[in-house]
């Protein structure tokens, strides 16, 4: 299995509270991604990174920000959590991007509940 960890694995928070999720990889892959997974929607891309300090928005980026100060770490921040951000969040990595990528490797996920 690819070396990807996510922390925390579970979190309960209140509306309006800031929340930061961490993804850590030991594979030295260039590309890192944050997805959310909700019933009926599949995985949807929030933000991705193509290098240290290089990030871009995905399909559902509103209300989220990211940072990547080191190759191995990719942080996802909810500045002011809302109940609609209750979801399972997956981090993923890949060594190629776009149509050249063969696969993405996923972390174990973080279950976030916003009350």
Q: Which residues bind other proteins (CB under 8 A)?
A: 39-45, 58-59, 90, 98-99, 101-104, 106-109
- Cβ 33 to other proteins, closest distance in Å? 8
Q: Which helix (H) or strand (E) holds 85?
A: none
CA distance 91 to 112: 14
The distance in angstroms from the start CA to the end CA of the chain is 34
The per-residue DSSP string of 34-54 comes to EEEEETTTEEEEEEEEEETTE
Nearer to other proteins, 19 or 23 (CB): 23
Closest CA relative to residue 60, chosen from 35, 97, 87, 95: 35
Nearer to other proteins, 57 or 67 (CB): 57
DSSP state letter for 31: E
Nearer to other proteins, 37 or 71 (CB): 37
- Cβ 46 to other proteins, closest distance in Å? 12
- Cβ 52 to other proteins, closest distance in Å? 21
Nearer to other proteins, 12 or 69 (CB): 12
- Cβ 92 to other proteins, closest distance in Å? 8
């Amino acid at each position: 299995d690819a070396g990807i960890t996510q922390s925390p694995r579970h979190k309960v928070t209140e509306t309006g509270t800031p929340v930061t999720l961490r993804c850590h990889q030991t594979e030295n892959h260039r590309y890192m991604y944050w997805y959310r997974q909700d019933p009926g929607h599949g995985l949807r891309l929030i933000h991705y990174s193509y290098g240290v300090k290089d990030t871009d928005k995905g399909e559902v980026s509103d209300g989220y920000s990211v940072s990547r100060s080191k190759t191995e770490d990719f942080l996802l921040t909810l500045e002011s959590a809302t109940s609609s951000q209750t979801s399972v969040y997956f981090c993923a990595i890949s060594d190629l991007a776009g149509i050249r990528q063969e696969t993405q490797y996923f972390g174990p996920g973080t279950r976030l509940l916003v009350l």
